[in-house]
A and B are shown apart, each in its own frame.
Chain A
Amino acid sequence: EAAVTQSPRNKVTVTGGNVTLSCRQTNSHNYMYWYRQDTGHGLRLIHYSYGAGNLQIGDVPDGYKATRTTQEDFFLLLELASPSQTSLYFCASSPQGNYAEQFFGPGTRLTVL
């Protein structure tokens, strides 16, 4: 099964703080995604990428930047964290193609005080 890892698993920061969430996949998948999960909203797509150096805007991008440095690594950046960004963040990857299954990492729980 596809392996996707995320770090840190838990993070607490203060309003206005700087946070970087990391994601690595070791399955040579082209596509990588960042989602946030909040009760009552399911999973909402923040940003995604189909290769190193590529970035596509998702459905809820405000307040987030992302960068795909290699095929394996995808980072989510919160430069001025706000309490509304307190959430559970999932990274996912999938092989090339519109209809491929997405494989999710274990998640990062972020709390912004």
Chain B
Amino acid sequence: QQKVQQSPESLIVPEGGMASLNCTSSDRNVDYFWWYRQHSGKSPKMLMSIFSNGEKEEGRFTVHLNKASLHTSLHIRDSQPSDSALYLCAARTSSGQKLVFGQGTILKVYL
């Protein structure tokens, strides 16, 4: 069964700093990645998605994808306390109708 591994398990950055989160799939048929954000006590909400090699930027958030290594990363610049949350990476295979989620990275941004 496909596995999605995220690292680190937790991350602490100062306000205004850069946070970098990683995600790798073990399934060579994966062709699409999502990043979801889940604030404490809330439900997950989609942050960004990527399926092409390279990077995609939306405001303070940048996602990279290397399809050869099945590795994606999420970078948050100028981190804010409101960015403190659980970040979940999800992957979809080209033949599937479902997502497989990683275990998540807990990000804490301190003042």
Listed in ascending order, the chain A residues whose CB lies under 8 Å from chain B are 31, 33, 35, 40-45, 48, 50, 56, 58-59, 90, 98-99, 101-102, 104-107
Distance in angstroms from A91 CB to nearest chain B CB is 9
Q: Contact between A45 and B43 (Cβ–Cβ < 8 Å)? A: no
Listed in ascending order, the chain B residues whose CB lies under 8 Å from chain A are 1, 4, 6, 32, 34, 42-46, 49, 51, 88, 90, 92, 96-104
Q: Contact between A59 and B34 (Cβ–Cβ < 8 Å)? A: no
B9, closest chain A residue (CB): A40
Complex formed: what's the CA distance from A50 to B98 in Å?
Answer: 11
Q: Contact between B43 and A33 (Cβ–Cβ < 8 Å)? A: no
Can you name 16 extra interface pairs (CB under 8 A) apart from A48-B97, A102-B99, A104-B43?
A42-B6, A42-B103, A43-B44, A43-B88, A43-B90, A45-B99, A45-B100, A50-B97, A59-B1, A98-B32, A98-B92, A98-B96, A99-B32, A101-B46, A104-B44, A104-B45
Complex formed: what's the CA distance from A41 to B86 in Å?
Answer: 12
Distance in angstroms from A40 CB to nearest chain B CB is 6
Complex formed: what's the CA distance from A42 to B86 in Å?
Answer: 9
Complex formed: what's the CA distance from A30 to B92 in Å?
Answer: 18
Complex formed: what's the CA distance from A36 to B96 in Å?
Answer: 19
Distance in angstroms from B94 CB to nearest chain A CB is 8
